Amino acid sequence: QVHVAESGGGLVQAGGSLRLSCAASGRTLSVYAMGWFRQAPGKEREFAAAIIRHDGSTYYADSMKGRLTISRDNAKNTVYLQMNSLKPEDTAVYYCAATETLRVTAPEAYGYWGQGTQVTVSS
């Protein structure tokens, strides 16, 4: 079992930045990748970014590429999501998740999810 917990959400003005953190615990050696997803009200959960645990390779959603940076600290079992140039349409609950599979952009491939952290971007 792997447990993940997000932190760092909040209210920010358009154009601002936020850094989200995700701490993993439990059977973390079985984790292949950590991902960030987001879900806005009335919309489906969508992929934002992912990072491969063993080599640090990163993946980003095309719609957010250039504004997001995902990074990891394996010693702390923590993954970070730096978000810059935030827009009101980035308002959503952001979820961290862990997968043991190679399908790092598909939410259905992730078996372990955090509770989510709210990010609100005001105009």
Instruction: Write the pLDDT tens digit of every residue in 9-19.
Output: 999 999 999 99
Distance from C-alpha of 111 to C-alpha of 31, rounded to nearest angstrom: 10
pLDDT, average across residues 84-92: 97
For the stretch 68-78, pLDDT in tens is 999 999 999 99
Question: Is 103 within 8 Å of 110 (Cβ atoms)?
Answer: no
Instruction: Fill in the DSSP letter of residue 108.
Output: G
Task: Give me the chain's average pLDDT, please.
Answer: 96
Q: For residue 112, count other CB atoms closer than 10 A to its CB.
A: 20
Confidence check: pLDDT of 93 > 90: yes
Indicate the range of 63-67, 77-81, 89-93, 113-117 predicted with least confidence: 63-67
What residues are paired with 36 via a beta bridge? 49, 96
121 phi and psi angles, rounded to 5 deg: -115, 120
For the stretch 34-56, pLDDT in tens is 999 999 999 999 999 999 999 99
Distance from C-alpha of 65 to C-alpha of 61, rounded to nearest angstrom: 6
pLDDT at 65: 86
120 phi and psi angles, rounded to 5 deg: -125, 125
